[in-house]
Amino acid sequence: MGLEKEVFRLEEFLRFNPINPGDPGPEIYRVVASLPQERQQAVVSVISEAVGAIANIKGAAYGKIAGIIGGKTQGGV
């Protein structure tokens, strides 16, 4: 993101600050929201990577189970 550094020179009230609508979600949302914006992205990246890794492990497990029982996977997940 080329503009990342420049954006933080903007007045706080001109920055992009989406409302998190509806269900407040897991506790981690509140923790992330409480961080300065420039630190939020780093946390989000770690969480996204972890969630992705979990999904891959689950996907591989589905594949192994399918192999063992000779069935099909759940929509490829």
**Which residues of the shown chain bind another protein in the complex (CB under 8 A)?**
1-3, 6-7, 10-11, 13-14, 16-21, 23-24, 28-30, 32, 40-41, 44, 47-48, 51-52, 55-56, 59, 72, 74-77
Going 18 to 9 to 32 to 53, the CA torsion angle's sign is positive
In the complex, least distance from residue 68 CB atom to another protein, rounded to whole angstroms: 18
Comparing CB distances to another protein, the nearer of 44 and 65 is 44
How many angstroms separate the CA atoms of 37 and 8, rounded? 8
Give 12's DSSP letter.
G
